[in-house]
A and B are shown apart, each in its own frame.
Chain A
């Protein structure tokens, strides 16, 4: 049987991810563009991934879109929710995963998988933005840093300046007043990460923590948040190298299963 190529698009609020999968087993190419739904991001991610793999759109059997902007993703054959996709992607990357935590720009999600990797239950954050990627962005802006700098700063911290407010506006003013006091920036960053971790941990605990716990999504690249969450949940967390692409990967797997079922 010839190789079947399926393509997954994960169109988020701030980034677009694309991944091409060969026969549900091997990753042919992937691309990530830091521009989300409503921008040129999705198109550019698609083009870049095809380009990397030396393929044309017609070579791909099916395009599955997921993420916040899945409904308006250009050229998608069908859509799947990001919860199912992150579950599929995490299971592909770490087959023994039982709990998956995905912190995205708008949503935080906790997923429970059965031993076969099937999604059996999930929870999402409530409306307040604390505990999501958006919260980190707001805080990075207050600190005049890039979100990508935060993990490194956290690593330098020897102590922690706790941030107690749950409301983003209050937390912002709390961070500003700590800045005014002249506290150590790395310790403040660590406090911000702990605040995200605490919110996420309560979501995960509501779902029930079953090891191993795997983290996917953009915030998983932030080792500071991961460490803080490990401490809160009192369990090690595994972060696959392709954590940020887990949604796109899941979409590609979703497409592959669709193709296989039709045969």
Chain B
């Protein structure tokens, strides 16, 4: 059997240069659609035979995005817009842009007038997501997006194709759940940066291909002898926790990620999309069942309760909140969720992350101190 380290290398390579993956898809004559966060179903893109390409920003310094966004808008949107303005995303057939946070609402017009050639698909969904009316609005909206995508793809969108796409993505979700469990059992083999790369690569690969790679890796991990690793066990939360520099500091400070409640990670695969007669309804219902993300309407702060549950189940020493700079929803959530963790006696460290200036010296001090504190 392959060694895990050999199987991990391709994931890291993919995440270092996602653009190459886009070029490859385009060179094969396929069409690709950029998908911005949050909760914009990739399944819709697969259903019309196009390739979704996740747009969660990038670590780069922005030179042009400041023409459209002021400095106090989050780096995901700044850097994604920057990539568009620099032509790094040329060839995409469209970008799908939800409007579930305030900064996202202006992404559409900023992209339209800045980047121009690549059309924007407005991807609205309902915040009253657990009510029949909200579900129906989301279902209808997803149907409309599907129609628009079908036009761009130049083919018909069938329910059968959508159901098939959901099945493929659900298989990927199951594979990722198995992988995160295996990674938690073998921190000696999977560093925090490795774990992130495996999850993130799915945004740039065909999900089927990704599933196969993830399964092979998981098998290799499960074949390892029982781990004798004795480090500190973390559960992460936030929007993104994918900065290699930050994750390396985590590893160097003796931490491993046991589980996460990160919008870009487990939040997307903790549950499957329900199988329903109208597949679009399943996608809407999935949104109703999702938890653990600050852009979702969450009047009882289920997010906090879930985080406590995850930390306890993972026997975590602490929780790391990777706080996306200038993210309103996260900054609001911090106050009540922090209190819920405190009440549960779970130590929390908050580290600010900004893709535009990925300097983590302060984070290093904080993480080292957190480790020293937890070790007592």
Contact = CB atoms under 8 A, between A and B. Distances in A.
A and B touch in the complex (CB under 8 A): yes
Interface of A: 68, 79-84, 106-107, 118-124, 126-127
Nearest to A254: B372
> In this complex, which of A81, A82, A106 has the most chain B Cβ atoms within 10 angstroms of its Cβ?
A81
B60 to A, nearest CB: 18
A126 B366 contact: no
B325 A84 contact: no
A119 B352 contact: no
27 contacts: A68-B365, A80-B368, A80-B372, A81-B368, A81-B369, A82-B365, A82-B369, A83-B366, A83-B369, A83-B372, A84-B372, A84-B373, A106-B362, A107-B365, A118-B376, A119-B372, A120-B373, A121-B373, A122-B366, A122-B373, A123-B350, A124-B362, A124-B365, A126-B352, A127-B325, A127-B352, A127-B354
B135 to A, nearest CB: 39
Interface in B327-376: 347, 350, 352, 354, 361-362, 364-366, 368-369, 372-373, 376
Nearest to B357: A127
A127 B354 CA distance: 10
Contacts of B365: 68, 81-83, 107, 124
A119 B364 CA distance: 17
Contacts of B347: 121
B368 to A, nearest CB: 4
Contacts of A80: 368, 372
A50 B364 CA distance: 29
Chain B contact patch, size range: 10 to 19
A118 B373 CA distance: 8
A27 to B, nearest CB: 22
A80 B376 CA distance: 13
Contacts of A122: 366, 369, 373
A107 B369 contact: no
Contacts of B368: 79-81, 83-84
A80 B354 CA distance: 25
B89 to A, nearest CB: 28
Given A121-B347, A124-B366, A126-B352, A68 B361 contact: yes
Contacts of B372: 80-81, 83-84, 119
B362 A107 contact: yes
Nearest to A125: B362
A79 B367 CA distance: 13
A160 B200 CA distance: 53
B322 to A, nearest CB: 14
A84 B369 contact: yes
Contacts of A119: 369, 372-373
Nearest to A66: B365
A84 B365 CA distance: 9
Nearest to B366: A124
Nearest to A107: B362
Contacts of B376: 118
Contacts of A118: 373, 376
Contacts of A121: 347, 373
Nearest to A71: B364
A81 B371 CA distance: 10
Contacts of A84: 368-369, 372-373
A261 B350 CA distance: 31
The 7 closest A-B pairs by CB, nearest first: A83-B369, A81-B368, A81-B369, A84-B372, A81-B365, A119-B373, A84-B369
Contacts of B354: 127
Nearest to B325: A127
